[in-house]
Chain A
């Protein structure tokens, strides 16, 4: 057990989770109280002691599934030698099927029979049956061979292709229609559909888990954990984020912008405050018999920062731009005064688009369609864009403004117009540049980041949430 636990913790650390020594000890203490047979409780016990960030839950779950996949009574697919125990599996299967009124064992089952059983299981939300069918489907369709060096996704794909879940969905809906004699209201229909989608999702998860169990049995725990290792949400690169990852990132931006707003507005709470508040001091002195023992001070006027965001939304940073726009939108909700500009080779102000639209998707859509950012050919031209910026809006920068430039500074070998940054820096409170490219790419090819960088208060590599957070912390 001790070995297992320490291996588990090492793997968690490998996956990037910060697990401290005390947390490790807590986990050891915790598992004393919870039997490993109670799998769900065991998992939550470990999670409660080891994972202190909800974003890390997924990574934890994966590692947990791998490490403890072969333990617990209902997971006895593997016997002593590490071979998949087909006999007991089959026996169990046929038992299940006798209960369902079917005949034959897993091996005799034709794909049609599996589909039929699965259909019934999904229709009645029979979880035990669904799990059994997931196993049968993996045995039948995945074609898993020991030692074959392919990932779990390949097997998953093969299994799902054979099951034809889309067709299954249609059949389920038809069946549901029939049951209500065809007079389902649209709302009911929608709800039914969602219910089935949910069940199918469950099934997919079950199949995935089954494949994983078998792969672990085949390849061993360490190897499997390694292949399944994925970056944590805060390490996901904006440029290569999948849809799902992007959604997570978006969620995390909100608190970050609040933090940024707080940092920029920073009130000096611990130093002396404003001028003496005579009235409050006298009032306070009454509790000391008229001796003004505790002077009171007025609160200083809160600092109201102004933020100017200038963002590149050209093709080369398309993925980053998507994120940028979300960041800008979130910022706009936090600061009293934000002005946002987007550019490719022309530049346009989009403040009003973010202000008018309550909904971020609409706002982003409007920016992408309405903003007038193409001047000649729609290839980035930082020089021209900055020229326009200075000419039209330069006079509005003052000592309260913080200016943030977002972009990769890939200028297609145009003139840089770096003097704009220099002039801006003279007038503004501070100027920052966030670059979505890895540091090693800076100043390669047509990147002119250093030319701009010399005039700013700092250029930050900003490829993932961790770095963005680092930037926000840096402001403190």
Chain B
């Protein structure tokens, strides 16, 4: 099924680059494999390293529709898979009662109210029943309870959903599935086993610089290099929360707006609050940058 989406590895990398996502070897090969093997990808890593962005970019690259399921504590079947439209069903029954008669053929009625018309599809079911190409993003899967994880298993391994009243709905096409996790808790073995695993860490200096150059308009090569170097330097300090790639980008944009050509210590210190979100971190970084310099 659908094995012609990507030609080879290089085309994946180039394709992602065309939609402004700079993939390293690891990311490109896992995306490539995900499509080849028809397996979901579990993406893990610190916040703000482009996990969600990856799913969006793959969707953009393959011209697929992106269906997103945002996970949270208390997510249940009715919100993730499907739900019967009770209200509509009730209306249907009442409408039937109103018209003159046949209240005997209950089975007929039952067949009638348990069909597609009364089914509200939620993201997971929608991804499977879509006719066109789909990228399914299950975001922050570590937020749901362990018990709820089990909900995902059927869809992830067999690409099907069982609805008691309707039977099993099988996928019309195999979607590319991304699950993201911030690793706040250990995911269950069962879930991990069904997925390819991809860890996205903070990028290497060169890659971060490239990212800054592609994403920030009007930044000079020199400034991008400096930004990337300073950020790397800050990440080496032990902080509550290291600056993420998205924060690097925000910082770079700010510097461009301020018309900065080359960063000195003062400017760096004044704009640190864009990179770091804790007061204690900001103070610590400011101290480090001046003292040891």
Contacts and interface: CB of A to CB of B under 8 A. Distances in A.
Contact of A41 (B25, B42, B94, B189): B25
Contacts of B26: 40, 44, 47-48
Interface in B173-204: 183-186, 189, 192-193, 195-199
Contact of B193 (A40, A52, A57, A358): A52
A444 interface: no
Given A48-B196, A54-B44, A187 B289 contact: yes
- Helix, strand, loop or mixed for chain A's interface? helix
A359 B226 contact: no
Contacts of A186: 265, 290, 293
B233 A34 contact: no
Interface residues of B, number: 54
B278 interface: yes
Nearest to B292: A190
Given A33-B36, A187-B263, A187-B268, A287 B29 contact: no
B193 A23 contact: yes
Interface string A116-145: 000000000000000000000000000000
Interface in A175-204: 185-187, 189-191, 194-195, 198
B293 to A, nearest CB: 3
Nearest to A38: B9
Contacts of A359: 280, 284
Contact of A187 (B39, B86, B264): B264
B30 interface: yes
A337 interface: no
A33 B192 CA distance: 21
Contacts of B205: 195, 198
Contacts of B189: 18, 20
A185 B289 CA distance: 11
A190 B30 contact: no
A359 B287 CA distance: 14
Contacts of B199: 54, 57
A194 B226 CA distance: 12
Of the listed residues B189, B192, B290, the one surrounded by the most CB atoms of chain A closer than 10 A to its CB is: B192
A358 B278 CA distance: 9
Interface of A: 18, 20, 22-23, 26, 29-30, 33-34, 38, 40-41, 44-45, 47-49, 51-54, 57, 185-187, 189-191, 194-195, 198, 255, 258-259, 269-270, 287-289, 358-359, 361
5 contacts: A20-B193, A23-B193, A34-B29, A186-B293, A198-B205
Q: In the A-B complex, list the 9 residue pairs whose CB atoms are closest, starting with the nearest.
A: A186-B293, A358-B280, A40-B25, A52-B192, A41-B29, A48-B196, A44-B26, A44-B29, A191-B229
Given A190-B293, A289-B90, 12 more contacts: A20-B193, A26-B39, A33-B37, A34-B29, A44-B26, A45-B29, A185-B264, A185-B293, A187-B264, A195-B205, A358-B280, A359-B284
Interface of B: 9, 25-26, 28-30, 32-33, 36-37, 39, 41-42, 44-45, 86-87, 90, 94, 145, 147, 183-186, 189, 192-193, 195-199, 205, 226, 229-230, 232-233, 236, 238, 240, 263-265, 268, 278-280, 284, 289-290, 292-293
